[in-house]
């Protein structure tokens, strides 16, 4: 069996999920080739798990000051380049394409009549049972058109439908780390770094460890800036008392598994993050702010509310399900995986 795995590379969440899957594929001796799109090649980091992966420009959104810039997103889309990459990518040698919201491999497989299994958080929103908070029909159409698949598996925090599975969160190297009360991990990559620094400086009693694409390792008083590093990030996540972040799915899932309290500022104009924030708010699993609000941060720092969910770490049941190729049968997979969530 040989699989082509297409992964959306715009943010780090899809890549985090792919790391867990890559380990399971390797453990079970399944040959997998990896394709990423949505980010410039030089901006990927810590990619050893994916060996000789390929990357394409793909599609991504452009942000400015913490919100999606629709005009620049359309201007930078390079549709002709996208169509050329789709046409030239040969997927004929693969049994199927496993796709995490990546358009080039999905459309190339559709053109060449190779089966596509789409597993992503975005796919969860195709179910009308999943909260989306407005414009649901249009958004579901966009999700299907962006990365079409023959079978969809959604990933979410609750078992809303039979084709929705929980996230897989790798076990961290730290066994029962002790939280440092005044340590806060900050990951707001879509905000301007200067705005984040100014925001945090109002709270000198806390030690903020701030990861950002434009940061270099340095400290400004109590604010410790960190360049992107998966190992460094996990080390700081292990013993932080809480996480301030945009409302991406994977980091929120990691924080929930570790029992870290969350303060979320969703990326404005990105419906998935809005939905994530509102869902976690309804679950009483996060505080939410719509801008870098000092009052919201003060309330959150003084709160003790946190939620812990024991999501599975081993995707072997999913890999076995993929290998059998009975992809229309999701009920047993659904029950197996959700039965391990505590």
Asked if residue 176 is part of any domain, the answer here is no
Do 201 and 290 belong together in one domain?
yes
Do 241 and 266 belong together in one domain?
yes
DSSP string of 75-141?
HT--HHHHHHHHHH---TTSSEEEEES-HHHHHHHHHTT--EEEEEHHHHTTSTTS---S-HHHHHH
Do 20 and 117 belong together in one domain?
yes
Do 151 and 225 belong together in one domain?
no
Asked if residue 152 is part of any domain, the answer here is yes
Asked if residue 178 is part of any domain, the answer here is no
Model confidence band, residue 79 (pLDDT cutoffs 50, 70, 90): confident
pLDDT tens-digit map of 225-277: 999 999 999 999 999 999 999 999 999 999 999 999 999 999 988 899 999 99
Do 16 and 127 belong together in one domain?
yes
Task: Specify the pLDDT at position 71.
Answer: 46
Whether the CA torsion 305, 14, 11, 82 is positive or negative: it is: negative
Do 251 and 317 belong together in one domain?
no
pLDDT tens-digit map of 85-135: 999 999 999 999 999 999 999 999 999 999 999 999 999 999 999 988 766
Predicted TM-score (pTM) of this structure: 0.92
C-alpha–C-alpha distance, residues 290 and 287, integer Å? 11
Asked if residue 173 is part of any domain, the answer here is no
Residue identified by tokens 């460890």 is 209
CA dihedral (181, 265, 38, 251) in degrees, to 10, reads 30
Q: What is the DSSP letter of 341?
A: -
121 burial level (CB within 10 Å; 0-12, 13-18, 19+): buried
Task: Specify the pLDDT at position 89.
Answer: 98
Average pLDDT over residues 145-158: 97
- Contact between residue 172 and residue 196 where contact means Cβ atoms under 8 Å apart: no
Task: Specify the pLDDT at position 175.
Answer: 59
Tell me which H or E stretch contains 253.
helix 249-258
Task: Specify the pLDDT at position 49.
Answer: 93
C-alpha–C-alpha distance, residues 314 and 168, integer Å? 7
Do 43 and 143 belong together in one domain?
yes
Do 132 and 71 belong together in one domain?
yes
Whether the CA torsion 310, 315, 316, 321 is positive or negative: it is: positive
Residue identified by tokens 């796919």 is 123
C-alpha–C-alpha distance, residues 151 and 327, integer Å? 7
Task: Specify the pLDDT at position 75.
Answer: 57
Which of 34-38, 160-164, 177-181 bottoms out in mean pLDDT, i.e. has the lowest?
177-181
Task: Specify the pLDDT at position 67.
Answer: 66
C-alpha–C-alpha distance, residues 155 and 328, integer Å? 16
Asked if residue 177 is part of any domain, the answer here is no
**What is the residue-averaged pLDDT of the chain?**
92
Do 89 and 162 belong together in one domain?
yes
Task: Specify the pLDDT at position 173.
Answer: 61
- Compare 63 and 166 and report the one with higher pLDDT: 166
Do 155 and 16 belong together in one domain?
yes
Task: Specify the pLDDT at position 200.
Answer: 98
C-alpha–C-alpha distance, residues 245 and 292, integer Å? 11
CATH of the domain at 196: 3.40.50.2000
Q: What is the DSSP letter of 174?
A: S
Do 238 and 145 belong together in one domain?
no
SS3 label, residue 266: coil
> In this structure, what token pair is assigned to residue 20?
């867990």
Range of the domain at 59: 2-168+312-340
> In this structure, what token pair is assigned to residue 207?
């030690």
pLDDT tens-digit map of 27-56: 999 999 999 999 889 989 999 999 999 999
Q: State the total domains in the chain.
A: 2
Do 190 and 161 belong together in one domain?
no
């Amino acid at each position: 069996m040989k699989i082509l795995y297409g992964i959306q590379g715009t943010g780090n969440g899809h890549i985090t999920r792919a790391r867990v899957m890559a380990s399971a594929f390797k453990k079970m001796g399944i040959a997998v080739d990896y394709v990423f799109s949505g980010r410039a090649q030089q901006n990927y980091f810590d990619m050893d798990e994916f060996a000789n992966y390929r990357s394409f420009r793909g599609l991504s959104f452009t942000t400015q000051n913490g919100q999606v810039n629709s005009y620049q997103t359309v201007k930078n889309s390079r549709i002709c380049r996208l169509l050329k990459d789709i046409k030239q990518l040969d997927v004929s040698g693969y049994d199927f394409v496993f796709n995490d919201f990546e358009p080039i491999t999905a459309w190339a497989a559709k053109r060449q009549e190779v089966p596509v299994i789409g597993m992503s958080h975005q796919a969860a929103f195709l179910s009308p049972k999943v909260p989306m908070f407005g414009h649901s029909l249009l958004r579901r159409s966009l999700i299907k058109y962006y990365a079409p698949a023959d079978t969809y598996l959604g990933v979410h925090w609750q078992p809303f439908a039979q084709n929705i599975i929980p996230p897989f969160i790798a076990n961290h190297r730290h066994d029962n780390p002790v939280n440092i009360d005044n340590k806060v991990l900050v990951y707001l990559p879509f905000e301007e770094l200067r705005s984040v620094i100014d925001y945090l400086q109002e709270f000198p009693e806390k030690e903020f460890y701030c990861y950002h694409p434009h940061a270099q390792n340095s400290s400004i008083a109590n604010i410790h800036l960190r360049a992107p590093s998966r190992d460094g990030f996990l080390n700081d996540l292990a013993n932080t008392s809480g996480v301030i972040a945009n409302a991406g799915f994977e980091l929120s899932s990691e924080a929930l598994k570790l029992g870290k309290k969350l303060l979320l500022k969703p990326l404005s104009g990105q419906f998935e993050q809005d939905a994530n924030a509102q869902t976690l708010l309804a679950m009483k699993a996060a505080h939410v702010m719509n801008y870098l609000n000092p009052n919201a941060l003060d309330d959150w720092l003084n709160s003790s509310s946190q939620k812990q969910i024991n999501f599975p770490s081993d995707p072997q049941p999913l890999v076995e399900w993929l290998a059998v190729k009975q992809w229309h049968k999701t009920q047993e997979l659904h029950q197996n995986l959700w039965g391990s969530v505590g």
